[in-house]
Amino acid sequence: MKQLTYYIDKGNDCYEPFFEYTISNVGVDEFYARQLCTYFIIRGTQYELASNEMDGEDDILVIKEIGRNLRGEDEKSFRGEGIHIEFRSPHERENFRLLSRIPCSTHFDAIRFLLKDVVDVPEIGQQLVTSTEIDEDRGVYVIYVKDLEED
């Protein structure tokens, strides 16, 4: 694995290179963490993961533009402050309510949470994961969760 490239699916089998990371810029743990996120936020726009592919030594994430990113309550930038995860409600009607935040020592620590269907949210307990994202604008992983019993 040498390179991770995001491509935007423009439709009609047209894919445009959008964003690229090399193993010399970020570690292998961040490469894998990014591939586990179902959404990607950058420059105020939200993208959804459509496909996760490999091409020889390179990894490719094909994304589709969703539109303007809707801001959640109490958003904070973590740029320059290390690796963090936010747990949020998945409901727009609740303004994607912030439930908890945790720091992580490494992206591997974040991967443990990104891999799970059910996570332990600090001071709340077990919650069902509905989706995950990397918010490039704020420098944070976001995990959207709901109660296990919620429909």
Question: What is the phi/psi pair of residue 32, to 5°?
Answer: -70, -40
Q: Which helix (H) or strand (E) holds 144?
A: strand 140-146
Cα–Cα dist 31/83, whole Å: 14
pLDDT value, residue 72:
80
Sorted by where each begins, the domain ranges of the chain are: 3-68, 83-146
As a whole number of angstroms, the distance between CA 16 and CA 19 comes to: 10
Chain segment 37-68, per-residue pLDDT in tens: 999 999 999 999 999 999 998 999 999 999 99
Is the per-residue pLDDT at 22 higher than 90? no
- pLDDT band for position 1 (50/70/90)? low
Percent of the chain with pLDDT over 90: 72
Structure tokens at 14: 């047209």
- The confidence score (pLDDT) of residue 149 equals 86
pLDDT of residue 7: 95
The pLDDT, as a whole number, for residue 120 is 96
Asked if residues 143 and 114 have their Cβ atoms less than 8 Å apart, the reply is yes
The two tokens of residue 32 are 């894998």
Give pLDDT tens digits for 86-111: 999 998 888 899 999 999 999 999 99
Are the beta carbons of 114 and 37 closer than 8 angstroms? Answer: yes
